[in-house]
Amino acid sequence: MADTQYDLAVIGSGPGGYVAAIRASQLGMKATVIELGELGGVCLNVGCIPSKAFLHTAEVLNEAREGKRIGVVADNIRLDFGATVSFKERVVKQMTGGVGGLLKKNKIDVIKGFGRLTGPNTISVKGEAGEQTVNAKNIIVATGSTPKSLPFAQIDENTIMSSTGMLALKEVPKRLLVIGGGVIGVEMATAFHGFGSEVTILEALPRIIRLADEEVSAELTRAFQRKGIKVLTNVKVGGVDTSNGGVRVTYTDSEGKEQQAEGDKLLVAVARAPLTKNIGLEEVGVAVDERGYVLVNEMMQTNIPSVYSIGDCVGKTGLAHVASAEGILVAEHMAGHHVTPINYDKVPSPMWCSPQVAYVGLTEAQARERGYDVKVGKFPFSASGHATIRTERTGFVKIVADKKYDEILGIHIIGPEATELLGEAGIALSHEATGESLVHTIHAHPTLYEALGEAGHALFEGPINA
């Protein structure tokens, strides 16, 4: 095939790659996206979107089962998992098709095939149509990540599953074991418990969702245990046996005693590895660390000035919306715009477990570690009129602020629609809000988000309605 010249070539079409290409096109650059698989990357195909489709089904199913509490009585409520899978696949198809439409609308070429760097400005692409060379003034490596196995638990997608395999199941396992209490672990636990699985989470650390505020983590643990999801922390898994068709996990509990847990499927949700091997980085001289993450500066630029990297390849957060923000930053930097580096302290982090968890900014512990004189304001959803109407009174809003300047340092939410309430929290931190400015912002009633205003009051004399 004939060689082609571009201003920007992006390897990978996930939420970092395709967004970077679109922004570059908007700024007048001729851009192309190189993709071996389906458009949209992990997020749209086997990550964010299909997992939230499963979680939505589980939520609706639970609401239907609990409807009698508010006078809605329905008989024979059950899960049609085949229909759930079909729904998930329709959503994925619609979203990936949308990415294709956006790329076409912005006149971005899509080259199907495996892209490999051959120089600071060249990529070799091997596809069904043969091999071609793509020449570009700048290149973005946005190849994403893949689930990581454990030495004693190699993912086979038959009994030992990754999140990708869980989303491809055709029936609900009766018993599900989950190694790892991070975002993927708690979301999959929520979905499949809602579908009817008996779920046990095994976490090596003292608490699940370790990046969240400690009080939020503790509240989620209590909520899970009330639902019947077993949460085992401070455990050390020693072995996994699949010889009898199911799976048996041997572990040492928090008291040092050897225990066993049995299941039909085991989800390994401990880590993801960057897809940066065998794509030419070493040959071109792009620096990577010992784990394979690409080393970049605050403009996401590697040690080779024409090569950038974003998203899971650089290992900053593993969040789709951060990859998108990094992609936009790179495109604008290439265009010569004045660009402000991303403040990773202020990245919003949502989790669609039940109850939902969402936070942005520093935890109370982090703020104290950095030397702030901390004040905390909390408001429980049990005192919220709207949460009471929804019969979702578990959880709270917690605000961490600096006593000296009243600056809000972090907002942490666990409870109904926490992932949507995160919007105001994110704006508060990005605009350097103070507790006083939050209190003086009138919050509509009766809403869920007025809990943020009440938590703001709690930074001072106390909340009004609790």
Average pLDDT over residues 341-367: 98
Phi-psi category of 371—alpha, beta or left, where left has phi over 0 and alpha has psi -120 to 50? left
Which of 272, 280, 330 lies closest to 125, judged by CA? 280
Average pLDDT over residues 288-308: 98
Would you state the structure tokens that stand for residue 459, as one six-digit string? 């930074």
Share of the chain above pLDDT 70, in %: 99
Q: Tens digit of pLDDT for each residue in 392-438?
A: 999 999 999 999 999 999 999 999 999 999 999 999 999 999 999 99
pLDDT of residue 128: 86
Average pLDDT over residues 129-152: 96
- pLDDT over 70 (residue 48): yes
Annotated catalytic residues are 445
Residues 6 or more apart whose Cβ sits within 8 Å of residue 163: 46, 47, 51, 147, 184, 188, 267, 269
The CA–CA distances, whole Å, from 33 to 108, 269, 282, 308, 357 equal 7, 30, 22, 14, 34
A 10 A CB-CB count for 343 gives 10
Q: Tens digit of pLDDT for each residue in 173-190?
A: 999 999 999 999 999 999
- Alpha-helical regions (H) of 27-80: 41-46, 48-66
Average pLDDT over residues 354-360: 98
pLDDT of residue 218: 98
State how far the Cα of 218 lies from the Cα of 216, in Å rounded to an integer. Answer: 5
Residue 3's pLDDT band, with cuts at 50, 70 and 90, is low
- Strand 265-268 to 175-179 pairing: parallel
Q: Tens digit of pLDDT for each residue in 91-124?
A: 999 999 999 999 999 999 999 999 999 999 999 9
Residues 6 or more apart whose Cβ sits within 8 Å of residue 142: 10, 11, 12, 13, 14, 16, 17, 20, 41, 309, 310, 311, 313, 323, 327
Q: Tens digit of pLDDT for each residue in 211-259?
A: 999 999 999 999 999 999 999 999 999 999 999 889 999 999 999 999 9
Q: What share of the chain is helix, strand, coil (3-state, %, to 5)?
A: 35, 25, 40
Could you tell me which CATH class the domain 355-457 is placed in?
Answer: alpha beta
Reduced to 3 states (helix: H, G, I; strand: E, B; else coil), residue 74 is coil
To 10 degrees, the CA torsion angle through 128, 132, 137, 140?
30
Which of 269, 106, 127 lies closest to 185, judged by CA? 269
- Buried-state track 102-116, b at ≥16 Cβ within 10 A, e below 16: bbeeeebbbbebbbb
Q: Do 4-146+273-334 and 160-270 fold alike per CATH?
A: yes
CB 208 within 8 A of CB 201: yes
The mean predicted confidence, pLDDT, of the chain is 97
Q: Give the global pTM.
A: 0.96
Could you tell me which CATH class the domain 4-146+273-334 is placed in?
Answer: alpha beta
- pLDDT over 90 (residue 4): no
State how far the Cα of 118 lies from the Cα of 125, in Å rounded to an integer. Answer: 10
Q: What is the CATH number of domain 160-270?
A: 3.50.50.60
pLDDT of residue 226: 98
State how far the Cα of 250 lies from the Cα of 69, in Å rounded to an integer. Answer: 41
CB 294 within 8 A of CB 276: yes
359 or 1, which is more confident: 359
Handedness of CA 340, 342, 343, 349 (dihedral sign): positive
Largest CA-CA distance found in the chain, in angstroms, rounded: 71
DSSP state of 236: E
Q: Tens digit of pLDDT for each residue in 21-44?
A: 999 999 999 999 999 999 999 999
pLDDT of residue 1: 42
- pLDDT over 90 (residue 129): no
Which of 41, 54, 10, 69 lies closest to 392, judged by CA? 69
State how far the Cα of 347 lies from the Cα of 324, in Å rounded to an integer. Answer: 12
State how far the Cα of 16 lies from the Cα of 141, in Å rounded to an integer. Answer: 10
Q: What are the sequence ranges of the domains in the chain?
A: 4-146+273-334, 160-270, 355-457
